[in-house]
Amino acid sequence: MSERGWRWPVRPRTVLPSGQVLTLRALERGDRTAWEELRRRNRAWLAPWEASAPGEPAPPTTFTRLRRGLDRAARDALALPFVIDVDGTLVGQMQLFDVLWGSRASGWAGYWLDEGSTGRGYATWALATLVDHALLSAGLHRVDVGIRPENAASLAVVARLGLPEEGVRRGLMHVAGGWRDHRCFAVLSEDLGPGGFAPGGLVAQLRRHGVGGP
């Protein structure tokens, strides 16, 4: 595995069973108003699940600095910081972070979704689209997904995708002010090939199983 398949910017997309087009794309300069409103509206909804850092709270980051930092990380093949766009409307973020190359060729997937956009299958299809891109196009071998045991909605997402579970990692990540245990799931590139549990990719698997929205 190598970085030869890595491209940025890229726009993986899939047509949902509803006919809507879900696109994973970079955060763009013109997204500022919509992005800031989305974050403001969902502050309380997201607070229990937001990654944090021990010690003093980090100073607020401006939209411009955030966008440039995400773009730089993506161009350096360290992250895939996508927003989730459904028919031109921002509904959240789906990203691959902590990307490692060499003998690891792996990354961690994480996401958040607008509270008003839940229950429509967006997170399931967006995660499937991200994993397919990472393993079938971008050159990675493994994608990990860590979910807190009490996060029933996200556990339902990985269940619909059939992701293999590998156990609980204690204190894996600092979230909402404390070190939290996470149930860990992973997909390998072999899983999406002949003989794997999702040959052709997770999006194709969802279509075969007739997974839709709510």
pLDDT in tens, 105-123: 999 999 999 999 999 999 9
Q: What is the CATH number of domain 8-209?
A: 3.40.630.30
What is the average pLDDT value for the chain, to the nearest integer? 95
Are 41 and 114 in contact by the 8 Å Cβ rule? The answer is yes
What pLDDT was estimated at residue 213? 58
Separation of alpha carbons 77 and 127, rounded Å: 19
> Residue 60's pLDDT is what?
78
- The answer to whether the beta carbons of residues 98 and 107 sit under 8 Å apart is yes
Q: Which residues are CB-contacts of 38 (< 8 A; sequence separation ≥ 6)? A: 90, 91, 92, 114
Let me know: does 17 contact 212? Beta carbons within 8 Å.
yes
Angstrom distance (rounded) from CA 9 to CA 32: 18
Closest CA to 130 of 52, 203, 36: 203
CA of 150: how far to CAs of 102, 128, 155, 180, 183, in Å? 34, 22, 9, 11, 10
User: Which DSSP state fits 129?
Assistant: H
Q: pLDDT (tens digit, 9 = 90+) per residue, 129-178? A: 999 999 999 999 999 999 999 999 999 999 999 999 999 999 999 999 99
Backbone φ and ψ of 205, nearest 5°: -65, -40
The whole-number pLDDT of residue 110 equals 96
Model-level pTM? 0.95
Cα 99 from Cα 101, distance rounded (Å): 7
Please give the order of strands across the beta sheet that includes 142-147: 13-15, 21-26, 80-86, 89-100, 106-113, 142-147, 178-188, 165-175
